[in-house]
Structure 1
Amino acid sequence: MFFQPRPTLKKISILQSYIHHQIIFLPFTTNAITNQQNSHTDSPENINLIITKVKSGTTSDQIFQSLNHDQTCNSIPISDNLLSQILNRFKDDWKSALGIFKWAIESQKCHTPLPKSHEIILDILGKTKQIEKMMSQLKRIHHHHRHDVTLSSIAKVMRRLCGVGKWQEAVKLFDELHTFGFEKNHESMNLLLDTLCKENKVEQARKIFLELKSHISPTVHTFNIFIHGWCKVNRVDEAHWTIQEMKGYGFSPSVITYSTIIKSYSQNSNFGKVYELLDEMKGQNCPPNVVTFTIIMCYLTKFGEFEDALGIPEKMKLFGCEPDTRFYNALIHTLAKSGRVQDAINVFEFEMLKFNVPRNTSTFNSMISMFCHHGRDQDAINLLRKMGNFENCKPDIQSFNPLLKIWFKTRKVDLWLGDLLDEMINKYQISLDLCTYTLLIHGLCRVNRCEWAYGFFEEMIGKDITPRYYTCVLLLDEVKKMKNYDAVDCIEGYMKRMKSS
């Protein structure tokens, strides 16, 4: 056992739970009643019914028309929860998501989507690099639903613009904030700086900050953004200089500040500096927290320093830190990588429950990955089935990928793959992403099932998910062996378009 329980832990957790419900849920009783009234409309049956009417590979307008002319779909009352769930199902398929979104707005004129739904569709368009459509959608929302453009929506759009190298347009959007009813203040400035720094545009962010700081006062968060940015581009000296700058403004480094630099040193396997910073934090009366120790343990594990990694729980005790879900997830991963499978099982099945630490999807995924790595695929399947029984802990794409890998490796494709894919797509409404399509195509090619692989290739390009060039080369070689000349022409044509673009 890595941690000894405190006698009053359960009482504390019950009290915290009670307080949490008093503070958070009582003021929103109207919403709670509305949610109860709408819960039957958000049933999996209704969600699945709408999803089955959507054919991937068609245009967003065709999907809109298909849903719009379907009497059964139009009889389903649209709630924001239902719309959000369906949009998240198609988070890697912008055509389906946009068609569904347009239908949801048009099918029931009395339904006005909440900002959450608008944010989701903007993020999907940005994630799938449909930048022009994302900007058009932002303008449309502003024109028709002025109050539904939130600062969070703007932040998502700026992030996606930076992600495709259009950081100047992100800055322009910040300059035009007043047209959306927002002010240029420390909150919106920090959003822009954070967006730029996360996309490695730290120097550009610095120049903008120097222009704005005379009329927008920085906060401690402003400096932490820059510290994270400098560390991300591996310029730790600049991060240390930023700490001195923040002190000049009267701010003290926080545990977030130190943990960011500790992460940078850990990424570079400079654990001597990490332990120096831990001592400095203690001296500055700024003790590390569970996040700090989770970071250190993760990177010790990454570099194979398992003994030191498994010593982290003892170090945590010295600082009075209690483990949380993320820490336990990291501990399970460390135990698994070091070959201590039974210890990992004990943490998962007993210790987390003993401390009343909730298990989440990532916890289960770590266990599934461990079982697959050690060839215990039946244990992984059993855990996946068990996971499906938890309301707030449903499988995601990462739950299934380890099983896909092991079955391709052991050539159990015909035995399991069809059922597994059916479960992913139809039971849990999981949208296949680039990594999973790549895994499927490569795996199927290796087991001489290139017809099936080519079907996934067609599905990918129908969703505008661009396959990796090597995937195209591999598949092309396989369909040539099968003398499938239509597939050869299709793949070669697609590869030519990839080169030209």
Structure 2
Amino acid sequence: MIGHFQSCLRSIQFLTQPSISRALFHASSESFTLAPPVESSYFSASGHQVVGQYDIDVLIGKVRVGSGHEEVFQCLMIDRECNAIQLSHDLVDKLLHRFNDDWKSALGAFKWAASRPGYKPSPQAYDLMVDILGKMKQMDRMKDFLEEMRQGHLVTLNTIAKVMRRFAGAREWENAVRIFDELETFGLEKNTDSMNLLLDTLCKEKYIEQARKIFLLLKSHIAPDSHTFNIFIHGWCNINRVDEAHWTIQEMRGHGYHPSVISYTTIIQFYCCQCNFHKVYELLDEMAAQGCPPNAVTYTTVMSSLLKVEMFEEALQISLRLKTAGCKPDTLFYNCLIHVLGRAGQVKDAAEVFEVEMPKIGVSPNTSTYNCMIAMLCHHAQQQKALTLLQEMENSKICKPDVQTYYPLLKSCFKTGKIDSLLSKLLNDMVNKHHLSLDISAYSLLIHGLCRANRSQWAYNLFEEMIRKDITPKYRTCRLLLDEVKEKNMYHAAEKIEDFMKKL
């Protein structure tokens, strides 16, 4: 089958030639420098030492942002304190997550860990490293890692999923197909699950025509299931061809499968994006008539779409419709409801949902729930209440803050002018206490805010850090910063920004 599949793929030009083979933020005036981790971050709110936290802080503190991966490796190799640390899979995973947007530091740290006597990286660590390299468009290094994993018999379908997604996301969909074609060499099977993985990868990146051709080649060898057709329904909707999505539902029935809640909800989502709520309500009624009632995801999809077009009253009616239908709400539904109430200015009602209704019916909040509440409170200038919720979240055993948690809080610092005090503390907590890696959105928010707050030097230092971490600033960020440093007569900085912009 493999040879037949390869020849068919080549005949429609599917395959190309084979090629597989720390930081702590500290702001003083306008500075933005690296400082050692503070001791308080080693302990939880109860005063108990957090297992491995000290070790993570030590390792992060040794890595200089912007160093090459070999420099990071050598730095850790010759450091006695680092080499006295007893490695565990959990510690290495946390270290890699910390460097999620800094592939050089992640690769150097991974190689150092792998070189340590008595320690062997877990398959999860390899998967994470593959994903980081693919995310940062280091495709050749990602392939080298995959080859190393192949030789060590560490490749799982989860690994393949990450590699395919990164290839397709980098517009190298042919390489994603080749990976599927080589599955047996990784010790994996070509079956319905792996076929669906390839089709889903291609459809999500809008290569649905190619996915369809591959499916037609494979279906005589690999039986499709209901998920296969749901993948195509999503794919057609993703490229605004809803008629083909409806046709796929008929094809699905022809293969003996009944359309599911997922099938209908995908098409409902398409109509929501088109603001065609008449068709949405028609489909909701059709689902009930077909004995396939909407679930919490369906209602959340509709409510979220009404929220986007600021149809708050209709969105709240959807909430009532869910409860009337006897459908049990979930955390995602409540997250959306809180957002709707916040946007509608009903802050007290949102707080009641969070504090009373959710606990009453046994629905636990997650990080996004807290993020919704914090964003709402910041939007309504209730910064202190937002900070109280942040502290509650930090003490929670259910969830912890992520980068999104801090966005509205950082914005509120610029609105209130609390830059030297609160902004510095929040940044310190993000990087040192929670080991969050700033992404392009966080850097952009900070640079724009600092420029407007007349903190050009601090903003420029952030710009330089982005470059060292291979995170490319957006053009408008460069333009804003360039104008600011020129106004401050920072000629050297202006020259470096201009040189960088020429490469964009």
Work out whether 1:233 is the aligned partner of 2:244: no
Letter in 2 for 1:393: C
Aligned-pair distance for 1:128? 1.2
Aligned-pair distance for 1:473? 1.3
Work out whether 1:115 is the aligned partner of 2:127: no
Work out whether 1:360 is the aligned partner of 2:363: no
Aligned-pair distance for 1:214? 1.4
Letter in 1 for 2:73: F
Shifted more, 251-260 versus 76-85: the winner is 76-85
Aligned-pair distance for 1:488? 1.7
Shifted more, 67-76 versus 246-255: the winner is 67-76
Query: CA offsets per residue over residues 3-60 of structure 1, 9 Å max, x none?
Result: xxxxxxxxxxxxxxxxxxxxxxxxxxxxxxxxxxxx9994212221211111110001
Residue 258 (structure 1) aligned to one of 260, 264, 278: 264
Letter in 2 for 1:69: I
Work out whether 1:47 is the aligned partner of 2:56: yes
Partners in 2 of 1:321 and 1:56 — Cα distance? 50
Partners in 1 of 2:428 and 2:49 — Cα distance? 24
Partners in 2 of 1:73 and 1:66 — Cα distance? 9
Conserved? CA contact 1:42–1:82, under 8 Å? no
Instruction: Please report the TM-score for the alignment, with normalisation by the length of structure 1.
Output: 0.89
Work out whether 1:99 is the aligned partner of 2:70: no
Give the match for residue 89 of structure 1: 98
Give the match for residue 171 of structure 1: 177
Letter in 2 for 1:181: G
Partners in 1 of 2:325 and 2:107 — Cα distance? 50
Number of residue pairs matched by the alignment? 457
Higher helix share: 1
Conserved? CA contact 1:115–1:149, under 8 Å? yes
- Seen in structure 2, the aligned counterparts of structure 1 residues 119 and 41 have a Cα distance that, compared at 3 Å, is farther
Conserved? CA contact 1:186–1:219, under 8 Å? yes
Partners in 1 of 2:74 and 2:362 — Cα distance? 49
**Residues 135-154 of structure 1 aligned to structure 2 (within 5 Å):** 135-143=143-151, 145-146=152-153, 148-154=154-160
**Residues 121-140 of structure 1 aligned to structure 2 (within 5 Å):** 121-140=129-148
Give the match for residue 64 of structure 1: 73
Give the match for residue 208 of structure 1: 214
Give the match for residue 16 of structure 2: none
Work out whether 1:389 is the aligned partner of 2:398: no
Show structure 1 runs of 4+ deviating over 3 A. 39-42
Letter in 1 for 2:149: I
- Seen in structure 2, the aligned counterparts of structure 1 residues 194 and 244 have a Cα distance that, compared at 3 Å, is same
Segments of structure 1 that go 5 or more residues without pairing to the other structure are: 1-38
Letter in 1 for 2:100: K
- Seen in structure 2, the aligned counterparts of structure 1 residues 82 and 392 have a Cα distance that, compared at 3 Å, is farther
Give the match for residue 355 of structure 2: 349
Shifted more, 391-400 versus 452-461: the winner is 391-400
Conserved? CA contact 1:42–1:79, under 8 Å? no
- Partner SS, residue 442 of structure 1: helix
Work out whether 1:487 is the aligned partner of 2:493: yes
Segments of structure 2 that go 5 or more residues without pairing to the other structure are: 1-47
Instruction: Please report the TM-score for the alignment, with normalisation by the length of structure 2.
Output: 0.89
Conserved? CA contact 1:450–1:479, under 8 Å? yes
Query: CA offsets per residue over residues 321-367 of structure 1, 9 Å max, x none?
Result: 11111111111001001110000001111111111211111010000
Give the match for residue 464 of structure 1: 470
Partners in 1 of 2:245 and 2:352 — Cα distance? 40
Partners in 2 of 1:375 and 1:191 — Cα distance? 45
Aligned-pair distance for 1:310? 0.8
- Partner SS, residue 431 of structure 1: coil
Q: CA RMSD in A?
A: 1.4
RCO comparison, higher one (Cα < 8 Å, 6+): 2
Aligned-pair distance for 1:317? 2.5
Shifted more, 174-183 versus 340-349: the winner is 174-183
Percent identity of the aligned residues? Answer: 56
- Partner SS, residue 388 of structure 1: helix
Letter in 2 for 1:66: C
- Partner SS, residue 257 of structure 1: helix
Letter in 1 for 2:369: T
- Partner SS, residue 502 of structure 2: helix
Conserved? CA contact 2:303–2:319, under 8 Å? no
Give the match for residue 279 of structure 1: 285
Work out whether 1:440 is the aligned partner of 2:449: no
Aligned-pair distance for 1:271? 1.1
Partners in 2 of 1:415 and 1:478 — Cα distance? 23
